[in-house]
Amino acid sequence: MKHSDSNKKPIASISLDLDNQWSYMKIHGDKGWEDFPTYLDIFIPHVLKVLDDLNLKITFFIVGQDAILPKNEKYLKMITDRGHEVGNHSFHHESWLHKYSKEEIRNELVKAEKAIIQATGEKPIGFRGPGFSWSNDVLEVLNEMGYIYDASTLPTWIGPFARRYYFMTAKLTKEEKKDRSDLFGNLKDGFYKLKPHTKHLDSGKEILEIPVTTIPFIKVPFHLSYLLYLSGISKALMRLYLNIALILCKITGTRPSFLLHPLDLIGGDQIKQLAFFPGMNISSDVKVDVFKEVILKLGKHFSLENMSNHAITELND
C-alpha cells in the first residue's frame, strides 16, 4: 500500500504462509491428505483480488510440495506475475523440521527452492519454518544457500497452551504427537528478541532474523488470526487490541512483521472441505472486511512492504 508520505513512516512487512488444504488435513490428522488436495485454484485468485484492491504487495511463503505439482503451477505463477514476492516454506511442511539432521534440512530446503523457482520463476531469498520451527542447522543451511533472512521465530509465551488445545482437538497417533511435541514453541520463546536482529551462528557466520511480531512487553500475538477471533467477540475489542499493539510497536521502535494465513481471508462458504476448522464459520466477505480494516490501520502508521524490502531496510540501518 503506497502513500504520498510513506517515506516518512517506519516500514512494516506483510507476509502470508501459503499452507494448502492438505497441510491443514495433515495437521488435523485427517485421512486423504497424502493425495495433496488443494484449494489454491480458489484461494489465490481470491487473495490476489483483495491485495489488488489495497494496492498491496506482500510475500507468499510457498510449500515445495505444492510447487512441484503441475495442477498448482498456473496459480502459483499468478503470484509473481502480479508483483508479489515468494519465500521458501520448506518442502514437506513438517513442524518438526528442527529435529532433522543438517543433511536432511539441506535436502528439504533445496528441493523446495527448486520447485518454487520452477513454478514461479523467482528464487526465494527468505525462509519461514512450518509451525515456526527452526534450529541453528536450519539457519546455517539458509546462509549457505545465500538467503538474506529467516522469519521463523514467534516471540510469545503462549505456545504450550496452543499445543495443548491442538492435541485435544486433532486426531493424532502417539507417534504423531511425539513428532509434534515442540509445536508452537515453549514458554522460553517469550524471551526471544522481538525486533529484527542478526543471529550469530555456531559456524561464526550470521543471518538476519525477522520475527513474526507480537505485542511488545506482553508478547502475545496480534497477527490476523487473533484479530479475527477477537472481532467475533467484539469489533471494539479487536480495534482496542490492535491499537495497543501498534502504539507499543511505535513506542519501542519495532518495525512489525505482520502474518497472514489463507484461512484468515477465506471462509467455509468457499472452502467447504475445511468448514470444521476454527473460524471457518465466518464468511469470506466478513474476513476480507476485517483484513481491509486492519491493513488500512497499519498503513496509517507504517509503510507496508514485502519481507525482502523489510530485510534490506534492516540491513542498511
pLDDT at 178: 66
Percent of the chain exceeding pLDDT 70 equals 90
**Minimal CA–CA distance to 13: which of 245, 305, 308, 291?**
305
Is residue 1 included in any domain, yes or no?
no
**Minimal CA–CA distance to 185: which of 212, 210, 205?**
212
H-type alpha helices, the chain: 21-28, 40-53, 64-67, 70-81, 102-120, 136-144, 159-169, 174-179, 224-233, 235-252, 284-301, 307-316
Q: Is the pLDDT of residue 9 over 50?
A: yes
Is residue 172 included in any domain, yes or no?
yes
Is residue 252 included in any domain, yes or no?
yes
Cα atoms found within 13 Å of the Cα of residue 93, Cβ hemisphere only: 22
**Amino acid (1-letter code) at residue 174:** K
Task: Judge contact between 214 and 249, C-beta under 8 A.
Answer: no
pTM over 0.85: yes
Distance CA 238, CA 243 (A): 9
Q: Please give the mean pLDDT across all residues of the chain.
A: 92
Is residue 70 included in any domain, yes or no?
yes
Task: State the pLDDT confidence band at 182, using cuts at 50, 70 and 90.
Answer: low
Q: How far apart are the first and last CA of the chain?
A: 22
Q: Is the pLDDT of residue 293 over 50?
A: yes
Question: And the C-alpha cell for 177?
Answer: 504427537
pLDDT at 181: 64
**Amino acid (1-letter code) at residue 269:** D
Is residue 306 included in any domain, yes or no?
yes
Task: State the pLDDT confidence band at 30, using cuts at 50, 70 and 90.
Answer: confident
Task: State the pLDDT confidence band at 2, using cuts at 50, 70 and 90.
Answer: very low
Residue 152: give its domain's CATH number: 3.20.20.370
Task: State the pLDDT confidence band at 183, using cuts at 50, 70 and 90.
Answer: low
Structural domain count, the chain: 1
pLDDT at 29: 79
Determine which of 228-237, 270-279, 282-291 has the lowest per-residue pLDDT on average: 270-279
Radius of gyration of the chain (CA): 18
Cell 485435544 identifies what position?
168
**pLDDT tens per residue across span 89-121:** 999 999 899 999 999 999 999 999 999 999 999
pLDDT at 190: 81
Listing DSSP states for 151-207 in one string gives ------S-HHHHHHHHHHHS---HHHHHHTTTTT--GGGGGS--S-EEEEPTTS-EE
Range of the structural domain that residue 32 is part of: 6-316
pLDDT at 273: 87
Is residue 278 included in any domain, yes or no?
yes
Strand partners, 61: 17, 87
Is residue 122 included in any domain, yes or no?
yes
Q: Can you tell me the mean pLDDT for 45-54?
A: 98
Task: State the pLDDT confidence band at 275, using cuts at 50, 70 and 90.
Answer: confident
Is residue 121 included in any domain, yes or no?
yes
Query: Which phi and psi (to 5°) does residue 51 adopt?
Result: -65, -35
* Buried/exposed 2-38: b ≥16 CB within 10 Å, e otherwise: eeeeeeeeebbbbbbbbbbbbbbbbbbebeebeebeb
Percent of the chain exceeding pLDDT 90 equals 80
**pLDDT tens per residue across span 132-177:** 999 999 999 999 999 999 999 999 997 665 556 556 666 667 776 6
Distance CA 111, CA 309 (A): 25
